[in-house]
Structure 1
Amino acid sequence: MILEAAMLQVKQGMEKEYEETFREASKIISSMKGYITHELQRCIGFKGKYLLLVKWETLEDHTVGFRQSKEYQEWKKQLHHFYDPFPTVEYFENVQL
């Protein structure tokens, strides 16, 4: 399992519209092969800052399966105009303790 973590900065004054649009766009990502779950967290200390966490079965399920799909084009169309700057995305794997 891979955890995708994206730090998102939404343009000032667009937060409510973003959250509503994200709810709808969630249907897109949750339908993709390899998708496990996702959550969107709103930052308490910085207005417009969000953390998106998505669990994928494999890295390629996100980087190839989702990012190179027609569904991603729709995701991008719905959400990317809210961000400034463009999100930073990093990937993590569980450390067995």
Structure 2
Amino acid sequence: MIHEVAILTIDPAKADAFEAAVAQAKPYFEAAEGMKSFGLRRSIETPGRYHLVIEWTSVEAHMVDFRESENFQRWRELAGPFFTGPVEMEHVLTVI
């Protein structure tokens, strides 16, 4: 299993609407083959910064199966308008 960690930056004044959009998009992730868990975490120290943490069975499940799907496009349509900068994303493995 791997985790996708995406750092999303939005206008803090739009936090409620952004969180509602992500909640609306969550089923698109849950429908994806290989998706195991989904979480959105808001930074305490940096208003407007979120960490989207998704567990996948493999990098391919994320980067091929999901990213090339219509559900990814729906996610971006809902959440993308809130982004104030590029999304930083990486895949990580739990080692301990």
1:38 aligns to what? 38
2:2 aligns to what? 2
1:18 aligns to what? 18
Percentage of pairs with the same residue: 27
Q: Counterparts of 2:4 and 2:32 in 1: how far apart (Å)? A: 14
Q: Counterparts of 1:70 and 1:7 in 2: how far apart (Å)? A: 22
Query: For residues 53-72 of structure 1, what are the alpha-carbon distances to aligned partners after superposition, in whole Å with 9 as ceiling and x for unaligned?
Result: 10000100000000001111
1:86 aligns to what? 86
The 3-state SS of whatever aligns with 2:13 is: coil
After TM superposition, list the pairs within 5 Å mapping 1:66-85 onto structure 2.
66-85=66-85
Listed as ranges, the gaps of 5+ residues in structure 1 are none
2:64 maps to a residue whose letter is: V
TM-score for both structures, normalised by structure 1 = 0.94
Listed as ranges, the gaps of 5+ residues in structure 2 are none
How far did residue 74 of structure 1 move?
Answer: 0.8
Q: Counterparts of 1:53 and 1:3 in 2: how far apart (Å)? A: 6
> Hey, which bits of structure 1, 4+ residues long, moved more than 4 A?
none
TM-score for both structures, normalised by structure 2 = 0.95
The 3-state SS of whatever aligns with 2:63 is: helix
Number of residues paired by the alignment?
96
RMSD: 1.0
After TM superposition, list the pairs within 5 Å mapping 1:43-62 onto structure 2.
43-62=43-62
How far did residue 11 of structure 1 move?
Answer: 2.1
